[in-house]
Amino acid sequence: MKYKLLQQLLGLLTCILLLLGIAIHRNNKVIGHDLRASSLTTESTERFISDGEMVISTYDLAGDIMGYGGRTPLQITIKDGVIEQIDFLPNSETPSFFDEVKNNPSIARLVGMRVSNALVTPIDVVSGATLSSNAVRENIVRGLLYAQDRELSVQKSTKELSFKTICAIVVILLGCIIPTFFKGSRYRLYQLILNVVVLGFWSGSFISYSLLINYLSNGVNLWVSIVPILLIITAFILPLFSKRGHYCGWICPFGSLQEIAGRCVKRKWAISARTITFLNYFRNVLWAVLIVIMFCGVTFNWMDYEPFSAFLFQQASPIVIIIAVVFIVLSFFITRPYCRFVCPTGTLFHMFLKNK
């Protein structure tokens, strides 16, 4: 038993390292930390480095604001609406003059303030470095205004989606409980319908390569992303407790939709054992090829065409919707065709999280 658990833990670690390698190769980031030498000037406007801790870069936000020698970009670290740190990014200002701007006490006073209070707190101009001081002040204001708007947007979104989020959490928990205590096919059908309606079309919650790579690259706000985090737990942690393939079989909304479609037609196409063996081999080879081309930096675009995002049909590309529809139609005649013979995300789970 201990050997089996150790084997599973090593598989989970391998899976994480594989995804981490792809995230680094694609974005040169790990949990929001840019690994490039020029990271201080090229990083995105907003990133999360830990739960609730957000870093705002003004490099793009204040690209039109110039000091004496050019831009004076900043990084402002904010947590729970409070300024934790203000860092000065590389610039072309005269070092001797700009050092005085960096040491400006009125800027240091902003650390520890709430964003709303800092916005109404005056920042003194350093004598002899007026242009640089004004530029830094405007960078700070732009960054804080962005943070304030972002916070209001998140609060509004959280309020609007709170009931939706609770429903999604309940469905996920039911997907973990029902298989343990209820064995009838009727209960399974109820769960499949809930997966499709609540997780799929209503909340748009599912696991994909894009989601996993994005979290490893940019970090994640655990509270805002509680539903995806729970899904990831069902996919990666439950297999450690004899729940192999639990996410794919009981929770994945696209897999659930395929199974519901399959229940509508009793007679299925007869597929020989040889063909099934070939299709299983094809699935593994496809997964290996996709991993290799990502590690070689050839392309990462295939992740955008996983059919899960078709549930967000107002935002999904036509190609993704077509792919999803094709596999749903095939599901009437072949049991879960995408899950069994194609799905790269499902292959990732099965490849490393085996439970024999």
Please check whether residues 203 and 149 belong to one and the same domain: no
| Amino acid at residue number 244 | R
* Structure tokens that stand for 51 in this block: 């739960």
User: Is position 238 within any domain?
Assistant: yes
Please check whether residues 161 and 196 belong to one and the same domain: no
Tally the domains of the chain.
2
User: Is position 115 within any domain?
Assistant: yes
Range of the domain at 294: 182-352
Residue 166: name the closest of 232, 222, 227, 225 by CA: 227
User: Is position 22 within any domain?
Assistant: no
Give the pLDDT confidence of 145-183 residue by residue, as tens digits.
888 887 766 555 555 557 888 999 999 999 998 888 877
* Structure tokens that stand for 246 in this block: 């639990």
DSSP label at 81? T
Domain of 120, CATH number, reads: 3.90.1010
Please check whether residues 159 and 192 belong to one and the same domain: no
Any alpha helices (H) in the chain, and if so which ranges?
Answer: 2-27, 39-42, 58-61, 95-102, 105-108, 115-119, 130-181, 185-194, 209-218, 226-236, 246, 253-263, 273-295, 318-331, 337-341, 344-352
> Three-state DSSP class for 229?
helix
User: Is position 4 within any domain?
Assistant: no
Give the pLDDT confidence of 52-75 residue by residue, as tens digits.
688 888 888 887 888 877 888 899
Spatial distance between the Cα atoms of 72 and 104, rounded to a whole number of angstroms: 15
Residues of the chain with pLDDT under 50: 37-42, 355-356
pTM of this prediction exceeds 0.75: no
Please check whether residues 105 and 63 belong to one and the same domain: yes
Spatial distance between the Cα atoms of 93 and 70, rounded to a whole number of angstroms: 7
User: Is position 8 within any domain?
Assistant: no
| Amino acid at residue number 262 | G
At CB < 8 A and 24+ separation, what contacts does 178-183 make? 178/250, 179/246, 179/250
User: Is position 143 within any domain?
Assistant: yes
Please check whether residues 119 and 203 belong to one and the same domain: no
User: Is position 19 within any domain?
Assistant: no
Please check whether residues 318 and 202 belong to one and the same domain: yes
